[in-house]
Structure 1
Amino acid sequence: MSIALSLLAALLLDYWFKEPKRFHPLVGFGNMASLLEKRFNLNDKKGGVLAWCLAVLPWVFLGFLLQYSLLDMPVLMALVAGVVLYFGLGWQSLLSHGMAIAEPLKRGDLQAARQAVSMIVSRDTSELEEEAIASAATESVLENGADAIFSALFWFCLLGIPGVILYRLSNTLDAMWGYKNTRYVQFGWCAARIDDLLNFVPARLTAASYALLGDTAIAIKAWREQGRIWKSPNAGPVMASGAGAINVSLGGAAIYHGELQQRPALGPETGDKPSAESIKLACELVNRVLIFWVVLIYVVTAVLVSVQSASL
């Protein structure tokens, strides 16, 4: 039952304390990654591969050693693993960012909503109007449900402490280096591809969960028709399914770094327009899926324990 105990501890810590404002390990990791990028970014893939290895693999190895050293102390290992998982999750942080956009948007305070949405998206937000702000926020909540929560849970259940470390650090490097601009197109190739690989299965499990716990028929149709044509192989299925699940029309044109990009549509053509309500619905969908995953993990864990006990 160690996975179940770790999961409970991590979610309680995240619920009570949310994202630490100071001394978050990922802040220190980000600073180290910046130094590595300055040292190894010579606009080639080899430098990016080496920098990724130096940034991630030592911490994954330490996570393995920590987990191995606690094998004979299952309760302590479960609690330690719960703390590590807590630092790898972004559940309450994601919901807080989403509602920080929805609330001023509902009041008609576009300036506050633009400022809040600029904290979680990479597109230009200074001129966004109400519908575009809501669309950006709803897309971000749906996409980051996978990135910030469900992918981390997947790798933790699969590999324990080293699994969640591997995923979270790799995802952080993708967010820092995975851009297709002059500075990162070669150097960031490794970080982007590894993040795509690590997210491939959990992203599709998230999309399936969105469909199961939302408007299933519309979600599956959107996933099938729209997911594969999105620029990201993992964000496409997640956002298309999520948009269908809450029956909202997303996607379309957006400005990134001063350049207008025509993005495919997401969700049903006849769906609701993005609004403060669609942000709230996206947050509620993420919560329903999290409850579903937690219950499923507990059931599977209990079954495995029962089978193991019966075999002894």
Structure 2
Amino acid sequence: MTFFSLISALLLERWHPSSDRNPVIMLFLSYADSLERYFNTGERRHGIAAWIAAVVPVLIVTGWVYYLLYSLSPLLAWVWNVIILYLTMGFRQFSHSFTEIGEALKNGDLPLARKRLRALHGVQADELGSQEIARIAIEMGLIHSHRYVFGIIISFALLPGSLGPVLYRLAELLNERWRGRPDAFGDFAVKAFDIIDWLPARMTAMSFAITGNFEDAVYCWRAQAASWMNHNQGIILASGAGALGVCLGDSLREPGGEYYRPELGVGEQADMDFLQSAVGLVWRTLVLWLMLILLLEIASWTG
């Protein structure tokens, strides 16, 4: 059921791409904002209470609906899983972003490429050249492919029913919504997502290594990942950079000056050709995970 649920959700998402602004996600974010207004006194313990109040009821309802439908018919439970995966995944978001930026760079239209990068990823791109745009696009593509595709798939495979994708997506949304606060309210949301993403991030990084240049990916993972501020992101980016044979990270020009970032990867500087290579890496990784899950299901059936 896991394999066919994933295939169905991916086909549905390709036919009718989902969005961060779909009504279900927007409803949850509105609920999270209400909890923040009620709980936020600047203390970490109130942030913990708000996180629990945001996540646990949704998990309970999701699990209850799944097991209720399963008791009526496994087919109904399968449909529920497909709906949950469709709402929590976003493969088309990743591929569409790459296509638009890649086409703008191919046509030599730097203003359009900057506009696409700023609109799609919220990056201040006015001072960026073509190599910097390609570099940031690859970095964000690797992170987004993990958060919107592989993190969801791995969570779905690890936890029963549809609990994994829901837990992963809610934790990721709260991490994005509540981090960066001047007080301690959002500290737990950031820490909780780091813990929940610990295993998926490493499994995604290993998948990039298997489907790309394994030796360079493992070397960059071991030698460079720890230098990145967010360790889970550093592992994904270092492994992806090594697998592609491209240099990521490094300083960026911004309106206020240069922003220093550690260097990741080995090989050549990023350009529009590496954008296509990154898309290929993600597709190969997706096929790898689907084949692995199919083999596990076949083993389960024969067992």
Task: Give the 3-state SS of the residue equivalent to 1:250 in structure 2.
Answer: strand
For the aligned residues, what is the CA RMSD?
Answer: 1.8
Residue 67 of structure 1 and its aligned partner are, at CA, apart by 1.3
Q: Which residue of 1 aligns with 2:274?
A: 278
Report the number of matched residues: 301
Greater shift after overlay, 20-29 or 39-48?
A: 20-29
After superposition, the C-alpha distances for 1:148-188 in whole angstroms (9 at most, x for unaligned) are: 11111111112221221111011011111122x52xx5111
Change over 3 Å in CA distance of 1:106–1:155 after alignment to 2: same
> What TM-score do you get using the length of structure 2 for normalisation?
0.94
Residue 255 of structure 1 and its aligned partner are, at CA, apart by 6.2
Q: Which residue of 1 aligns with 2:144?
A: 144
The letter of the residue matching 1:273 is Q
After superposition, the C-alpha distances for 1:105-155 in whole angstroms (9 at most, x for unaligned) are: 111111111121123435422221211111110000111221111111111
What does 1:198-277 align with in structure 2 at a 5 Å threshold? 198-254=196-252, 260-268=258-266, 271-277=267-273
Residue 11 of structure 1 and its aligned partner are, at CA, apart by 1.0
Residues 9, 83 of structure 1: 8 Å contact kept: no
After superposition, the C-alpha distances for 1:27-82 in whole angstroms (9 at most, x for unaligned) are: 22122222322332222212211221121111111011011102231122112101
The 2-side partners of 1:298 and 1:289 are apart by 14
Greater shift after overlay, 68-77 or 36-45?
A: 36-45
Residue 259 of structure 1 and its aligned partner are, at CA, apart by 7.4
The 2-side partners of 1:152 and 1:6 are apart by 12
The 2-side partners of 1:62 and 1:258 are apart by 47
Residue 21 of structure 1 and its aligned partner are, at CA, apart by 8.2
Residues 214, 285 of structure 1: 8 Å contact kept: yes
The letter of the residue matching 2:229 is K
Task: Give the 3-state SS of the residue equivalent to 1:186 in structure 2.
Answer: coil
Greater shift after overlay, 231-240 or 247-256?
A: 247-256
Greater shift after overlay, 100-109 or 292-301?
A: 100-109
Task: Give the 3-state SS of the residue equivalent to 1:70 in structure 2.
Answer: helix
Residue 23 of structure 1 and its aligned partner are, at CA, apart by 4.1
Runs of 5+ unmatched residues, structure 2: none
Residues 60, 163 of structure 1: 8 Å contact kept: no
Runs of 5+ unmatched residues, structure 1: 308-312
Residues 135, 270 of structure 2: 8 Å contact kept: yes
What does 1:174-213 align with in structure 2 at a 5 Å threshold? 174-179=175-180, 181-182=181-182, 185-213=183-211
The 1-side partners of 2:34 and 2:102 are apart by 36
Q: Which residue of 2 aligns with 1:310?
A: none
Residues 55, 167 of structure 2: 8 Å contact kept: yes
